[in-house]
């Protein structure tokens, strides 16, 4: 890594160059660091040991999150070395579920800026603002307007923590080099009265604009990205349900964009559904699905599921007939007049009902999927109703953070008397029930979007398609060995997430080449091609004048 003309204290202030106590004597001499760092040369292993010791002194995961973000702000390599050394331990700290609390308190725990903050007051000058970013070859922008953060609702500028965290997962889970990643918050205001009156709130103190005004602002942003960062893929994250669906429809055929809440959630849930059918000995087309929640996540998941069913030979109408939805106003059915355009394909002829258990008894789904953000919504009556009509009921409680989960694995296994096949949106510990040990999987998007991101990065794909997420979901599902499926685990172990995502990215990359979307030459060995692009959290060992190793 070159010092980019930086010398002395400037090197230490650049987290991508700083090695702290790991500079060699030659590097200290060449870069003017003598006397500016302790007169030692430590290994990364020793530095990691110090990080682990300091983390051990923290009492909460939020404190550990703050510490790790501070480390990222000062020494990027050591941060990623830490997180990638034990993903199962650190992913829940740098992302879900800790990120939820971090976002709620974002303005209070704020230390220094990371990413970009683009306000609607800059309309007409967006391209000019984007040019202020120092890295000129940005390949991914993860952008939110803070409208629907996790299951926490409108957090406004506090939602800036989400794109920051998401892009860390691109690197930690799939090895996308961090210098190509730009987190961004589009500030169009907030309707959250608490934050509007919080003196430490970091966003515009005004309510959100009309949809037409917001979309005009987003149009300018998307078009400016094409000019300033022509190889960039835009990752939309945590927008309100209608905006998430409509903005994806607005841009997906013209630009390289995707929405993780719509497509990434769908991909990882599809992986769980595939493995649930392996456990049951059925096929996707044999199943019937009932969603609790009918927002962007549910619609994206249903649409992707239907695309997968169509690929297996069903007509689109047949596929849609296997999917039912239930929201705050009850079952989506043909007589309802309050439905959004994208909900109508899942509103079938059925008697109106606001009773979820009654809907289960009438529809007889084999799988229920919770994307409601209502903690405890899958109560004992729900699980028992599912168990009565299914030998192996599939219960996917996907809302997060933890307190938003529709039920816990212990509840699902206990109330179903060990029959349930279960996964959640957050990680839970193994459950011991009736002499068996069940391994509840985490249906977390971090298995999917970083791998798809790596495939896009390596191939320089011109567009992002639903088929890429279907392939990613299938690839993730295929990497769970039979012995773990027997214990109910629907997803690969997190401890080996990098290798899982390399294999997934290779399969998605093959699809990109097969679809004619790549801007680079097709390689002979797809896995080796992906490995060649993977970032490794290691300091460079060579040193010479003008170089920060």
pLDDT at residue 540 is higher than 80: no
Catalytic residues: 95, 166
Q: Which residue has the tokens 């709620």?
A: 104
**What's the pLDDT score for residue 4?**
61
**What's the pLDDT score for residue 544?**
39
DSSP class of residue 122 equals G
Burial 417-441 (b: 16+ CB within 10 A, else e): ebbbbbbbbbbbeebebeeeebbbb
Q: Which residue has the tokens 């009902």?
A: 353
Give the residue range(s) of CATH 3.40.50.720 domains in the chain: 263-446
Residues 303-359: tens digit of each pLDDT: 999 999 998 899 999 999 999 999 999 999 999 999 999 999 999 999 999 999 999
Please count the other Cβ atoms lying within 10 Å of the Cβ belonging to residue 403: 12
Q: Which architecture does CATH list for 9-93?
A: Up-down Bundle (1.20)
**What's the pLDDT score for residue 3?**
55
What is the rounded average pLDDT of the residues 35-54? 97
Give the residue range(s) of CATH 1.20.1370.30 domains in the chain: 9-93
Please count the other Cβ atoms lying within 10 Å of the Cβ belonging to residue 522: 13
pTM here is 0.92
Residues 148-169: tens digit of each pLDDT: 987 789 999 999 999 999 999 9
Superfamily of domain 263-446: NAD(P)-binding Rossmann-like Domain (3.40.50.720)
Kind plus residue range of the DSSP H or E element containing 475:
helix 466-477
Task: Name the band, by pLDDT with cuts 50, 70 and 90, for residue 402.
Answer: confident
Q: Which of 69-78, 150-159, 502-511 has the lowest mean pLDDT?
A: 150-159
pLDDT at residue 200 is higher than 70: yes
**DSSP per-residue codes, 214-275:** HHHHHHHHHHHHHHH-TTPEEEE-S--HHHHHHHHHHHTTTSSEEEIIIIIHHHHHHHHHHH
Residues 446-476: tens digit of each pLDDT: 999 999 999 999 999 999 999 999 999 999 9
The answer to whether 530 touches 458, Cβ cutoff 8 Å, is: yes
Residues 162-188: tens digit of each pLDDT: 999 999 999 999 999 999 999 999 999
Helix axes 449-459 and 526-533, enclosed angle (nearest 10)? 90
């Amino acid at each position: 890594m070159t010092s980019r003309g930086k010398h002395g204290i400037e090197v230490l202030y650049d987290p991508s160059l700083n090695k702290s106590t790991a500079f060699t004597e030659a590097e200290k001499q060449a870069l003017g660091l003598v006397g500016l760092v302790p007169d030692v040369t430590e290994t990364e292993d020793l530095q990691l040991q110090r990080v682990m010791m300091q983390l051990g002194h923290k009492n909460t995961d939020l404190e550990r999150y703050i510490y790790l973000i501070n480390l990222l702000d000062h020494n990027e390599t050591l941060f990623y070395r830490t997180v990638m050394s034990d993903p199962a331990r650190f992913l829940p700290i740098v992302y879900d579920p800790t990120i939820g609390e971090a976002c709620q308190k974002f303005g209070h725990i704020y230390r220094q800026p990371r990413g970009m903050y683009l306000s609607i007051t800059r309309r007409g000058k967006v391209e000019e603002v984007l040019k202020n970013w120092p890295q000129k070859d940005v390949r991914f922008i993860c952008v939110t307007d803070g409208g629907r953060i996790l299951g926490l609702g409108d957090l406004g500028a506090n939602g800036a923590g989400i794109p920051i965290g998401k892009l860390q997962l691109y690197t930690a889970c799939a090895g996308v080099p961090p210098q190509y990643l730009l987190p961004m918050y589009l500030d169009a205001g907030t309707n959250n009265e608490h934050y509007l009156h919080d003196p430490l709130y970091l966003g515009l103190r005004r309510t959100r604009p009309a949809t037409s005004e917001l979309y005009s602002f987003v149009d300018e942003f998307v078009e400016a990205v094409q000019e300033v960062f022509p190889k960039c893929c835009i990752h939309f994250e945590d927008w309100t349900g209608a905006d998430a669906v409509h903005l994806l429809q607005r841009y997906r055929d013209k630009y390289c964009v995707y929405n993780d809440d719509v497509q990434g959630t769908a991909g990882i849930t599809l992986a769980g559904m595939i493995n649930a059918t392996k456990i049951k000995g059925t096929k996707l087309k044999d199943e019937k699905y009932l969603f609790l929640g009918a927002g962007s996540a549910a619609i994206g998941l249903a649409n992707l599921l239907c695309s997968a069913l169509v690929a297996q030979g069903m007509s689109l109408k047949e596929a849609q007939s296997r999917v039912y939805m239930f929201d705050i106003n009850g079952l989506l059915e043909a007589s309802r007049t309050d439905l959004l355009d994208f909900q109508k394909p899942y509103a079938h002829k059925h008697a109106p009902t606001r009773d979820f258990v009654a809907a289960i008894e009438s529809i007889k789904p084999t799988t229920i999927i919770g994307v409601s953000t209502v903690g405890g919504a899958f109560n004992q009556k729900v699980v028992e109703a599912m168990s009565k009509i299914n030998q192996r009921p599939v219960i996917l409680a996907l809302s997060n953070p933890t307190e938003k989960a529709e039920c816990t694995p212990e509840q699902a296994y206990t109330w179903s008397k060990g029959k349930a096949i279960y996964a959640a949106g957050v990680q839970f510990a193994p459950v011991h029930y009736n002499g068996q040990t069940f391994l509840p999987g985490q249906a977390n998007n971090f298995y999917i979007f970083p791998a798809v991101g790596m495939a896009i990065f390596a191939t320089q794909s011109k567009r992002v398609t639903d088929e890429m997420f279907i392939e990613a979901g299938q690839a993730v599902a295929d990497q769970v060995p039979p012995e773990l499926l027997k214990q109910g685990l629907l997803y690969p172990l997190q401890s080996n997430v990098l290798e899982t995502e390399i294999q997934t990215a290779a399969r998605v990359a093959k699809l990109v080449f097969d679809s004619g979307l790549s801007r680079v030459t097709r390689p002979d060995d797809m896995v080796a091609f992906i490995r060649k692009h993977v970032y490794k959290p290691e300091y460079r060992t060579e040193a010479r004048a003008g170089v920060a190793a």
